Amino acid sequence: MNKEEIRDVILEIIQDIDEDADISDLQSDLPLRDQLDLDSMDFLDIVMELRKRYKLQIPEADYPELASLDSCVAYLEPRLKDS
């Protein structure tokens, strides 16, 4: 997947997790958590959803890499290049 596709997947997963998530004016360099009012449990759901869809294991130590949309894309791009 390319950057754009990964970005869309993340946004899709977020909307899937939270029916009320408003992604219309999301700043891609700022923490998702604050902008979307996500808690750590919601965060776990993003990780689990990636695991389910792409068999991708993200170790807990790497969770901070998923803080913003930009950092998610940077972290996932090499890992999902063949997906």
Partner 1 sequence: MVSYDHIIIGGGLSGLAAGIRLARFGFKVLILEQHSRPGGLNSYYYRQGRLFETGLHAMTNFADPGKKDAPLNRLFRQLKLSRKAFATLQQQQSTILFPGDRSLRFTNDPQVLIDEVARLFPESAERFRKLVDLVVGHDPFQPRPFASARKILTKELANETLADMLLWPLMMYGNSCEHDMDFDQFVIMFQSIFLEGFFRPEGTIKDFIDLLLNHYRDLGGEIRYLAPVKSVTQDAGRVRSVVLASGEELAAKFFLSTAGYPATLVFLGQDDPSRLDQYSGKMSFVELIYLIPSEIRSKLRAEDTIIFYNFDSPFDYCCPDEAVNVNCGVICFPENFQDLTIGNECQVRVTHPANYHHWKKLSQDEYYPMKSLWAKRSEAVVGKIIGNYSQNIVYQDSFTPITIERYTGKVNGAIYGSPEKIRDGRTSMSNLFVAGTDQGYLGIVGAMLSGVTMVNQHLLQTSEH
* 62 forms part of the interface with partner 1 (CB under 8 A): no
- Binder to partner 1 among 44, 62, 65, 81 (CB under 8 A)? 44
Q: How many CB atoms lie within 10 A of CB 68?
A: 19
The 3-state DSSP composition of the chain as helix, strand, coil percent (nearest 5) reads 65, 0, 35
Q: Name which of 6 and 49 has its Cβ closer to partner 1.
A: 49
- Only one of the segments 1-9, 11-19, 65-73, 74-82 lies at the binding site for partner 1 (rule: CB under 8 A); that segment is 11-19
Cα three-residue angle 75-81-83, rounded to 5 degrees: 115
Which is closer to partner 1, CB of 4 or CB of 61?
61
